[in-house]
Structures are given as C-alpha cells and as structure tokens.
Amino acid sequence: MNPEVRTLRRSISATQYFAVGFGSIVGVAWIIIMGDAVASAGAVGTAFALFIGALGILLVAFCYAEMAARLPGAGGEIVYAQALGGSGTAYLTGWTLALVYTAACAFQAISIGQLLGLLFPGIEGPVAYSILGHEVRVGNLVIGGGLAIALAALAMRGVRGAAVVQEWVTYLRIAMMAGFIAIAIAYADPANLTPLVPGETATLKFAAILSMLGSAPFWFAGFNAAVTTAEECSTSMTAAGRALIFAILGSAAFYILLVLSVGALVPVATLKTLPLPAAQAFEIAMGTPEVAKIVLVTAILGSVTAWNALLLAGSRVYFALGRAHLSPAAFARLNVQGAPSLAILAVTAATLVALPLGRGFILPIINIISACFGIIYVATCLAVLKMRKSGMQASFTAPGGSPLVVTAIVFSVIIALVALFQPWFLSGGTVPPEWITLGSWAVVSLLVWFGAQARIKALPDEARLDLLKGESRG
C-alpha cells in the first residue's frame, strides 16, 4: 500500500503562472552580467546570440509544457525523469535541480547588495575580506542574508501569497521596463553599436557568439521554475502551457531590445568599463541619474521576483524528492499553510552558505546552471518522445512533431557541452571552480544515494511515479 500522499494546494492562476515564469527568467542577470556579455560578443552579437538562444529554449519549452500537461506534479523534471528512466534517473535529476536552484538563489543573494549599493551609496559597508579575486563587504552579507530569510518567511505562508506578490511586482516591472527601453531608443545612436561583433578574425567572432550562446540556459533559466509549481496550478494545463511560452517570448523581446538600445547609448569601449552598464549608460547618455535609478529599482524588483520564484521551485524539488522516498521524508512535510517548510529552509540555508563566496563566484554559477540545465533539458525532451510512444494523451502537445523534439535535444546537448568545457579552456590548465563544485555535489549525492538504498528500494517505481504526481494507488 502506498504511503500517505501529501498534495499541494491548487492556488496559482494562469496570469500568476506567467508571472512566475517571466519573473524568474528576467531577474537580475541582465544588469549584473550584461557588461561581460557585451565585452565578449558586442551588443549586436549578444542580441543575435540571445535570439538564437531564445529559439532553442522555445523548442525546449514546448516540450516542458507538454510534459507539464501529461505529468503535472511538484518537482517538474523529477517527475519526467521518473517516467523516463526510473528511480535512478529521477534521483540524479532531482539532485541536479537542487544544485541549480540553490546556485540561482545564491546568485540573487550575492547580486542584490551591489544593486542597492549603487542606489544607496555606502550601504555595502566596509570590506570584510577578499575571495576569488573580489572583495566581499559586510553590507552585502547582511542584505543578502536578510532578504534570504525574509523570502523564506514569505514562502512559509503558502504559495498563494507568494504568487500574488510575484504577479503584482512582475507587472509593475514590465511597465517600468517598457518605459526605460523607450527612453533608451529615443537617445540611441546606432554608430555606438560598432563593431557589431568584436574579434580580429571570423573565428574569434564566431567563438564570441558561441560563448554567449552557451549561457542561454542561464538567461532563460527561470521558465522551467514554473513547471515545478504545475501541481499547484488552478487553471487548465493548456492555459498554463501558453503562459509559459508567452513568458519566454516576452523575456526574449526584453533582453534583445535592452542590449541593442543600451548598446546604442554609449560607445562599446565605454560600456565595457561600466560595472552595471544597463543602468549607468543612461546616466552617461542623458547626463542625469534619475533614469539610471529607475533601471536600478527595476533590477532590484527583478531580483526579488526571480529569487521568490527560484525559492519556490527549489523547495518543490526537495519536497518532491522527499515525497517520492528519494530524500529524507521530512522534506515532504507541510506546515499548516500547506508549504513544505523544511524544504524551504534547506534552500535558504544552502543560499546562506554560498553567499560569502561573493562576486567571484558569479561566473561559475552561470556556467554551472547552464551545463546542468542543458543536461536536464535533454532528459525532459527524451521523456516527451517516450510518453508519445506510450500513447498517453495530453491537453497540450508541442507543435512540429518529433522533429521539433529532436532539434531541442541537439540544441540542449550543444549548450551543455559549451557550458561544461568552456571554463577549462579559460582556466589556463587549472581545474575550474565549476568542476570542483559539480564534483563535490556529485560526491554528496552519491553518499546520500547509497545511504538511502533501503528506503528507495522499498517503494516500486510505479508507486514512486504516483507519489511524484500527487496520486495514490492504494
């Protein structure tokens, strides 16, 4: 007989589902790493890479929307992996997702202090120490840690409150984004976009674009955070699938317009020198800091919405693993508000542990997330092909048939390989932090796997899939 099934409340509307997707995609990365992207591939090259990346991610997202319609369980890809290859595949996918969402939350915690420091000079405080080539300030630790605890407290109150906050803040941000992009277009000088792609040779230009393309899963990573909350969606999965696609299209349009318009505000040589060019370019071009402050406020709101969505997604991953007997059962316990409290605390605690690594850990986080998501995308797309062969019907199906799914798989493999091996080529022969982090996480996951074998084997694969879907046979 199956253990008691703990199910999550259906509280998320279609517009809130869009807000979770868009809010977690367009977080704070566009303002933190835009300077590095433009320095590598130029404004036009970056925009082109984002366009190609968006097309590839869109193919993957169609597969995600179909799988969410077929198996709308908390944990998203863990459910799909269980259907694809059983408990081992589900466990590997779950621990990979746990690393991804923890790293993504750490990215937000590390970044927000710098944003607030530009908006409120001096708030970062004195230098505490230096690590990985960057200073870490006391204020950054206090701000990042304080917000991590505040968002955990909000998540503890249940998904409905978090979704409402997500929806209102996301639509406010969209209005603000439209405003400052319109201003950037009005002040733009196309001559500032040259050279279109940096590099003395065609090979170097291609390498620059390929490098940018390799980070596409990071730029668009948030879209799959929404599928982890599919079990809590109160609307039809057809409407949810459409909301997911619109979230990607909207974020791609924003990224491309932002890169081109900001790139046209000031010369590329100047843009490369700015710590946060997406905000500071306005101040240089217009001679006034007011618009730059609006951009910073938008970025801060974006950090909060992305962090909120990622915390929800990460906690649902731990919840799903616990409910399916793939991690300690305590992760599946719900508080009186229906929230997986220990799972939320686990993500928050891991975020607080990573926070002291500071800005020097930003680029490794990007590469780790991109590589891991590329691998998970492949598993999800393969699950689509398997489910179609089984004859199982779905309320939402990806258009284009099997060729679309196969193309999505090829794209995902390329992205994963670029993100995984690029750090090695740039490290000068030393082992990059990305490999150390991935290796350490793999060791921990293997220890937990072997230590939990009795509990894992006690539950048949069919029963585990039922639990992941929030169902019961007995």
339-354 mean pLDDT:
92
pLDDT number for residue 147: 93
In degrees and rounded to multiples of 5, residue 135 shows phi and psi of: -80, 145
pLDDT band, very low/low/confident/very high, at 473 (cuts 50, 70, 90): very low
Higher pLDDT, 55 or 393: 55
Pick from 370, 367, 301, 372: which is nearest to 23 by CA? 301
Task: Give the residue carrying structure tokens 């699950």.
Answer: 383
What does pLDDT average to over the chain?
82
The per-residue pLDDT for range 60-88, each reduced to its tens digit, is: 988 888 887 787 766 678 888 988 988 99
pLDDT at 1 over 50: no
**CA-CA distance, 442 to 445, in Å (whole number)?**
5
pLDDT at 306 over 70: yes
Question: Mean pLDDT lowest for which of 170-174, 315-319, 449-453?
Answer: 170-174
**Which residues are CB-neighbours of 60 under 8 A, at least 6 positions away?**
377, 380, 381, 408, 411, 412
Question: Mean pLDDT lowest for which of 87-91, 206-210, 259-263, 357-361?
Answer: 206-210
406-425 mean pLDDT:
88
Higher pLDDT, 412 or 225: 412
pLDDT number for residue 153: 92
**How far apart, in Å, are the Cα atoms of 168 and each of 162, 270, 302?**
10, 35, 12
Q: What angle do CA 109, 274, 295 make, to 5 degrees?
A: 60
Higher pLDDT, 55 or 391: 55
Question: Mean pLDDT lowest for which of 69-78, 325-334, 397-406?
Answer: 69-78
The per-residue pLDDT for range 143-174, each reduced to its tens digit, is: 999 999 999 998 888 766 666 776 777 778 78
DSSP letters for 26-44:
SSSHHHHSHHHHHHHHHHH
pLDDT number for residue 3: 45
Radius of gyration of the chain (CA): 21
Q: Is the pTM of this model over 0.85?
A: no
Q: Residue 438 has which token pair?
A: 């991935």
CA 407 to chain centre: 22
375-400 mean pLDDT:
85
Is the separation of the CB atoms in 19 and 167 below 8 Å?
yes
pLDDT number for residue 297: 85
Pick from 115, 26, 108: which is nearest to 362 by CA? 108
**CA-CA distance, 269 to 192, in Å (whole number)?**
9
In degrees and rounded to multiples of 5, residue 429 shows phi and psi of: 95, -5
322-349 mean pLDDT:
88
pLDDT number for residue 151: 92
pLDDT number for residue 2: 45
108-117 mean pLDDT:
87
275-280 mean pLDDT:
77
